[in-house]
């Protein structure tokens, strides 16, 4: 199984609306590992690893969720998975 890493910076009104908690809850429905955290500049950073298909479905689920309407912009990049993560966590 070929694993990839998806790295997304979300901007818009993505802090203070339950964005990280929604992403963590959604992650439970996918075969993905990673982290989500607030950044000091008001963006949210997502790092997730899994198969490309799972990551694409996870990404769509975030966009289609109740917090999707708060996303103003996404900066996404793809890389090879590093295997650094165990589970999916909110980083503070």
pLDDT tens across 65-86, in order?
999 999 999 999 999 999 999 9
89 is a domain residue: no
Question: Which residue among 2, 20, 37, 92 is the active-site one?
Answer: 20
- Residue numbers of the domain that contains 75: 3-81
User: What CATH number does residue 23 fall under?
Assistant: 3.30.70.100
- In this structure, is residue 63 part of a structural domain? yes
| 59 part of a folded domain | yes
Q: φ and ψ at 34, to 5 degrees?
A: 150, -160
Q: How many structural domains are present in the chain?
A: 1
Distance CA 33, CA 28 (A): 9
In a domain, 91, yes or no: no
What is the pTM for the complete model shown? 0.95
Is 90 part of a structural domain of the chain? no
Which spans in the chain are helix H?
19-27, 52-64
- Location of structure tokens 């607030």: 38
Would you say how long the chain is, in residues?
A: 92
- 13 has catalytic annotation: no
Residue 25 lies in a domain: yes
Active site annotation includes 43: no
**What's the mean pLDDT in 2-26?**
97
Is the pLDDT at 1 greater than 70? The verdict is no
Q: Which of 3, 13, 25, 38 is catalytic?
A: 38
């Amino acid at each position: 199984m070929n694993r990839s890493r998806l790295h997304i910076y979300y901007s818009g009104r993505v802090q203070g609306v339950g964005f990280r908690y929604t992403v963590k809850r959604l992650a439970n429905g996918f075969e993905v590992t990673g982290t989500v955290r607030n950044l000091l500049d008001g963006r949210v950073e997502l790092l997730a690893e899994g198969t490309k298909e799972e990551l694409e479905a996870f990404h769509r689920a975030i966009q289609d969720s109740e917090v999707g309407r708060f996303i103003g912009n996404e900066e996404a990049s793809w890389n090879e998975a590093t295997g650094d993560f165990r589970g999916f966590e909110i980083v503070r």
